[in-house]
Amino acid sequence: MSSIPRDQWYVAAYTAEIGRELFSRTICGDPILFWRTEAGEITAHADRCVHRRFPLSRAPSRLVGDTVVCGYHGFTYGADGRCVAVPGQTRVPRTARLAQYPVVEQDSLVWVWIGDPALADPGRIPRASYLDSPGWTTVRGMEPLAARYSLLVDNLLDLSHETYLHGGYIGTPEVAATPISTEVDDDAGIVYVSRHMADAECPPFYERSTGLSGRISRWQDIEYTPPCLYKLHSRIAPVGSVPDPDGSDPDAFHVEVVYAITPETEHSTHDFWLVARDFALDDEDVSAFLAEQNRTVVLQDVAALDVLEQVIATEPPGYQELSVNIDTGGLAARRMLARMAGAVPAERAVPAR
Ligand code: FES
Ligand SMILES: [Fe+2]
């Protein structure tokens, strides 16, 4: 049985990736064809001609106005996926139609619904409006991961690994040393994990971007909405600074680190990452630095998770992991994901102390 939850929204692309060219990406095992109509609307259909399966994203298939012409024998499809022309006959079979995926553009992301289209509710897509708002500057990328998506969920829900895997970039001793608090909102479907470091070393990632140095107050507040959207609200401030009672926070620097965790297949994942900041908005050196640093950090995770996927693939059945306090967020996320995938969770969330 698949561990990938269906009847869910997943990030398929950045909005800027999709234009007047045929674009294909495999999401949860489904190859999906995307393109924009002349009016600018995004379409999402199965990337497989109904005739003999030729991928419609593959040359010499082409976009002609608001139709896609299959590059093999010329079946032609409109923006609604219906076939409008077949070669050698005037009658178009009624069933000649591409499966259509509900698709929504929001917060610079293209969301696609994987599952029964009748259940798709765009109101359930989690928001991250700062990714596309004045007052914020965002850098981003996407790295292919040759590992199952659940390994990336584990990785992002437990940031104690920053100290070890990302030392010299975002990791300092205080991250691993500071206990977390975890909260689960089952009704909203959100896992929260917080780690507030009152007096911590400033890692290079924040030293060069904010100009702060020495000791800082560093807060990490994770908000994960399974299956796809992970948000890390990061607050960097001088030691002793706290937000004002009205919620304003003039002494702090805010960085929103967002990941979209999108399964490509059972054993590979699209690792979308974005870093939004509310300071140095027009400073291109800061943008270039954060983009390069975060990509390096993501690639450190990718290298580790690619190894883990291989370890899991070759281990005998029945291997038991050991979980401790740092894993409470990850275990809560696993339980939610297992419920979404219709499976009974293999493990209860009682960490060994
Ligand atoms: S496979 Fe597309 S027209 Fe034949
Ligand atoms: Fe990491």
Ligand number nearest to the C-alpha of 143: 2
Same structural domain, 30 and 110: yes
pLDDT at 196 over 60: yes
Domain that holds residue 73: 8-123
Cis-peptide, bond into residue 134, ω within 30° of zero:
no
Q: How far apart are the first and last CA of the chain?
A: 32
Are 174 and 186 contacting, i.e. CB atoms less than 8 angstroms apart? no
Tokens representing residue 221 in the block: 């507040």
Mutate which of 22, 54, 68 for ligand 1 pocket (most atoms within 8 A of beta carbon): 54
Pocket of ligand 1 contains residue 20 by CB under 6 Å: no
Q: Which of 184, 185, 162 is nearest to 172 (CA)?
A: 162
Residue 348 included in any domain: no
Q: Is the confidence at residue 336, as pLDDT, over 50?
A: yes
| Claim to verify: residue 106 and residue 162 sit in the same structural domain | no
Q: Which ligand is nearest to the CA of 85?
A: 1
- List, as one string, the DSSP characters of 177-225: HS--EEEEETTTTEEEEEEEEEEEEPPHHHHHHH---SEEEEEEEEEEE
Claim to verify: residue 153 and residue 268 sit in the same structural domain: yes
| Domains held by the chain: number | 2
- The whole-angstrom separation of Cα 272 and Cα 326 is 24
**Residue 351 pLDDT more than 80?**
no
Q: Do residues 82 and 222 both lie within one domain?
A: no
Task: Decide: 166 and 312 in contact? Cβ < 8 Å.
Answer: no
Residues 182 and 48 in one domain: no
3-state secondary structure 141-189: EEEEECCCHHHHHHHHHCHHHHHHHCECCCECHHHHHCCCEEEEECCCC
State the Cα–Cα distance between residues 107 and 200, nearest whole angstrom: 32
Give per-residue pLDDT as tens, 24-68.
999 999 999 999 999 999 999 999 999 999 999 999 999 999 999
Q: Do residues 12 and 160 both lie within one domain?
A: no
Ligand 1 touching residue 75 (CB < 6 A) = yes
Which pLDDT value is given to residue 352? Answer: 54
Q: Are residues 119 and 77 in the same domain?
A: yes
Q: How far apart are CA 137 and CA 290, in angstroms?
A: 11
pLDDT, averaged across the chain: 95
Place of tokens 């917060």: 107
Is 347 within a domain? no
Structure tokens at 216: 């800082």
Of 123, 151, 168, which one is at a domain's C-terminal end?
A: 123
What pTM, to 2 d.p., does this model score?
0.95
Looking at the chain, the whole-number percentage of residues with pLDDT higher than 70 is 97
CATH number, domain containing residue 99: 2.102.10.10
Pair 301, 322 in one domain: yes
For residues 112 and 168, membership in a common domain is answered with: no
**Residue with CA at minimum distance from ligand 1 atom 3:** 73
| 72 touches ligand 1 (CB under 6 Å) | yes
Contact call for residues 162 and 171 (beta carbons, < 8 A): yes
Residues 152 and 218 in one domain: yes
Any atom of ligand 1 within 6 Å of the Cβ of 54: yes
Tell how far the Cα of 208 is from the centroid of ligand 2, in angstroms. Answer: 19
Which CATH number belongs to the domain containing residue 148 in this structure?
3.90.380.10
Mean pLDDT of 9-14: 98
> Are residues 200 and 81 located together in one domain of the fold?
no
Which of 72, 76, 86 maximizes ligand 1 atoms within 8 Å of its Cβ, making it the mutation to test the pocket? 72
Cα(102)–Cα(43) distance, rounded to whole angstroms?
8
Q: Does residue 339 register a pLDDT over 90?
A: yes
Question: Rounded to an integer, what distance in angstroms lies between the CA atom of residue 104 and that of residue 339?
Answer: 25
